[in-house]
């Protein structure tokens, strides 16, 4: 007797010798998790240029916002994070509408809470750190995330990292501290044990967030817009929920009222929020098309220009030194080693 058609995903009934029959589930092979690049550096130059410009503006505006108010922000750092996350959410919602994507079909997922939570904490730590150190020096302290990311690729995901690429990561990390030797004197910076601690917490969380976002972008079947909607929704909810832990309601209302003054500080605050939001929107584009390592060494490359601008705009808080030219050479050598696949294959 011919068995009925098997259900989708199952094999037909298998008649055994004793007449019994079992339906055997057909297990599809698990989809391979990938972290491979979807594009090349050359095809992603527009995203890279936008990221570098916006990231520089973000760093300078946030630092200027703190310095213009005696080393403190005119409003709570948590409130600044709320404004930034809400701006990113509105921007991605507007983009989805322009692309004609329906929001009714969006499927929520707790997975996006993991990178959102990491980004929320790192953003808070970053804003607090700028009250103690200049942006270039902070970027020096968190640059070990390049090595953290390469190590995660190698030991967690089994991605091959050849000796030339490992050497490239080391040079990228070593290039920036070399250019900052003159700024590490006690009379020029306040690199305390606390600042070093939060910098390494930030580096570790930033690595976790970047890799989590990369995994979701490259392996989740949701559209890019839908993924970003849930990422920024989770970030906004977390930031808003944390507000009562940072300040009481009376202080919150008072700070919100103070924003109606439209003075120089308020204009700088709006500028910092808009630049931070825009810079944040470019990060997933780089991670999706390239990878987290590229994002990390772009941050190192950006720090070269950031150092020059910070020294020019805030000479009392940061200055350049003679190792700067050497750092540029190391940085370019590191990027060349990591990106030169031909050299890695020959080795």
How high is the mean pLDDT in each 10-residue block of the chain (347 residues)? 44 45 44 70 84 94 90 91 96 89 75 93 94 86 83 81 79 72 54 84 93 86 88 94 90 88 88 95 87 80 85 82 72 76 48
pLDDT of residue 158: 79
pLDDT of residue 190: 60
Q: Is 309 exposed, middle or buried (CB count within 10 Å of its CB: 0-12, 13-18, 19+)?
A: middle
CB count in 10 Å sphere of residue 339: 17
Between β-strands 14-15 and 21-22, what pairing exists: parallel, antiparallel or unpaired?
antiparallel
CB 217 within 8 A of CB 225: no
pLDDT of residue 69: 81
**Residues 6 or more apart from 319 whose CB is under 8 A from it?**
182, 183, 188, 311
pLDDT of residue 31: 53
pLDDT of residue 168: 81
Q: Distance between CA 28 and CA 136 in Å, rounded?
A: 50
Q: What is the pTM of this model?
A: 0.80
pLDDT of residue 89: 95
Closest CA to 199 of 276, 122, 131: 122
pLDDT of residue 186: 41
CB 284 within 8 A of CB 215: no
């Amino acid at each position: 007797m011919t068995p009925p058609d098997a259900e989708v995903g199952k094999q037909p009934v298998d008649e055994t010798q004793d007449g019994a029959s079992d339906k055997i589930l057909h297990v599809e092979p698990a989809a391979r998790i990938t972290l491979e690049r979807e594009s090349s550096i050359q095809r992603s130059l527009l995203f890279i240029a936008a990221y570098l410009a916006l990231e520089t503006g973000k760093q300078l505006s946030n630092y200027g916002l703190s310095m213009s108010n005696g080393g403190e922000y005119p409003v709570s750092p948590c409130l600044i994070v709320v404004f930034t996350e809400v701006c990113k959410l509105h921007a991605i919602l507007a983009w989805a509408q322009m692309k004609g994507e329906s929001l009714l079909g969006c499927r929520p997922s707790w997975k996006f809470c993991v990178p959102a939570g990491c980004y929320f904490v790192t953003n808070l730590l970053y804003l607090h750190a700028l009250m103690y150190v200049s942006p270039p020096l902070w970027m020096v302290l968190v640059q070990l995330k390049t090595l953290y990311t390469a190590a995660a690729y190698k030991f967690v995901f089994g991605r091959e990292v050849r000796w030339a690429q490992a050497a490239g990561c080391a040079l990228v990390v070593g290039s920036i501290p070399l250019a900052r030797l003159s700024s590490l004197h006690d009379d020029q910076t306040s690199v305390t044990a606390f600042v070093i601690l939060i910098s390494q917490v930030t580096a570790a969380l930033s690595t976790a967030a970047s890799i989590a976002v990369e995994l979701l972008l490259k392996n989740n079947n949701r559209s890019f817009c839908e993924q970003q909607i849930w990422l920024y929704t989770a970030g906004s909810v977390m930031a808003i929920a944390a507000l009562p832990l940072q300040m009481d309601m009376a202080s919150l209302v008072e700070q919100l009222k103070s924003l109606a003054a439209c003075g120089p500080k308020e204009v700088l605050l709006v500028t910092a929020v808009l630049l931070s939001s825009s810079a944040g929107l470019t990060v997933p584009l780089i991670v999706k098309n390239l990878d987290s390592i590229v994002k990390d060494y772009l941050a190192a490359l950006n720090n070269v220009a950031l150092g020059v601008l910070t020294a020019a705009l805030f000479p009392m808080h940061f200055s350049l030194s003679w190792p700067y030219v050497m750092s540029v050479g190391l940085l370019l050598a590191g990027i060349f080693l990591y990106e030169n696949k031909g050299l890695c294959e020959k080795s």
